[in-house]
Amino acid sequence: MTLGVSEEVEFYGVRVASRLMLGTAQYPSPAVLADAVRASGCAIVTASLRRESGHLREGQDFWGLIRDLGVRVLPNTAGCHSVKEAVTTAQMAREVFGTPWIKLEVIGDADTLHPEVFGLVEAARTLSADGFEVFPYTTADLGVAERLLGAGCKVLMPWGAPIGTGLGLNDTYALRSMRAHFPDVPLVVDAGVGKPSHAAAAMELGYDAVLLNTAVSKAGDPVAMAKAFAQAIEAGRAGYLAGPIEPRDMAAPSTPVFGRASLA
């Protein structure tokens, strides 16, 4: 599927042709995952590293499926709650997937899956110094963003809402502020997106891409939903490029009142 107006987007010097990124967890079957990725037109998928048996090598079938789809893999450190755990997982993922890219998650709260931003910055600095190209899952806090950039990150991935909630963009003010404050930094809304309209809204704010998983994998029809998100990304980006009007408090007539007929 080729999108009409999304254009290419660049991450760490790599240009990709889609602004939609998909996670690969919790699909009904590998076949449905493959069909959803194709329907989405995405160029990047995330994959979490799981320890596999050295004898059975259960992960090889999954890795083969991803290679056959021809998409770029962004490994992640999902489920890591400490700097040491995240760094170790990232190093293992680099060996398994053969890429310096890593989606860095350091989770601070098990219920909300809120990023632990102090550990996140520390882990990002350690991994950047080790040659990784880090995609940090973070909040929309500008101070944290500054520290992540200072730690070597060249992409920021603020959450829209807690992972898997489908609540959409909980704080559009913060997301808009981040876009305005970092006009030249690639920004990706990551987590909490539940509907295509949420993805379109993120693109209308000027974000460079949207990363989601549950909204597609748990949908009644994951393949149809993946296609719907692709269309929403395209529409939102087109709207942003077209220059939407600024909201206002008072009504403004769309039909001119000058020269109207007088019935007096």
172 labelled ligand-binding: no
H/E stretch holding 133 reads: strand 133-138
Is 176 within 8 Å of 201 (Cβ atoms)? Answer: no
192 labelled ligand-binding: yes
Which tokens belong to 22? 């998909």
**What's the Rg (C-alpha) of the chain?**
20
206 labelled ligand-binding: no
Adjacency order of strands within the sheet including 44-48: 157-158, 133-138, 101-104, 72-76, 44-48, 20-23, 209-212, 188-190
The residue type of 72 is R
Please give the Cα distance from 32 to 38 (Å, whole number): 10
**If we measure between CA atoms, which residue out of 197, 205, 188 comes closest to residue 239?**
205
213 labelled ligand-binding: yes
**If we measure between CA atoms, which residue out of 138, 24, 137, 134 comes closest to residue 87?**
134
Please give the Cα distance from 95 to 162 (Å, whole number): 30
**If we measure between CA atoms, which residue out of 24, 26, 29, 28 comes closest to residue 40?**
24
Q: Is 195 a catalytic residue?
A: no
Please give the Cα distance from 52 to 37 (Å, whole number): 24
Options 103, 195, 218, 227, the catalytic residue:
103
List all residues 6 or more positions away from 238 whose beta carbon is below 8 Å from its beta carbon.
4, 5
191 labelled ligand-binding: yes
Which residues are part of a known binding site for 1-deoxy-D-xylulose 5-phosphate? 164, 191-192, 213-214
What residues act catalytically? Answer: 103
Which residues are part of a known binding site? 164, 191-192, 213-214
